[in-house]
Amino acid sequence: MAQQLLDDDLWKLIEPILPALKRRRFRYPGRKPIDNRQALQGILLVLKTGILGNICPRKWGAAPA
């Protein structure tokens, strides 16, 4: 199981200042967005460990290799 870098108490403080997810367009919708928490955990993992983004755990929304 992947380590939680962002606990629930800290997330409750950060979540209100992040922008809401935009609705996808009907035509040319593009890639499905991931949750803000998943994105932030991926950023924190890369900053903490220095690994490449595509090595992040899949449960955090990492793209398949």
pLDDT in tens, 29-62: 888 888 888 888 878 877 888 776 566 666 655 5
Give the predicted TM-score (pTM) of the model.
0.64
Backbone phi, psi, residue 20, to 5°:
-70, 155
Judge contact between 31 and 22, C-beta under 8 A.
no
pLDDT higher than 90, residue 64: no
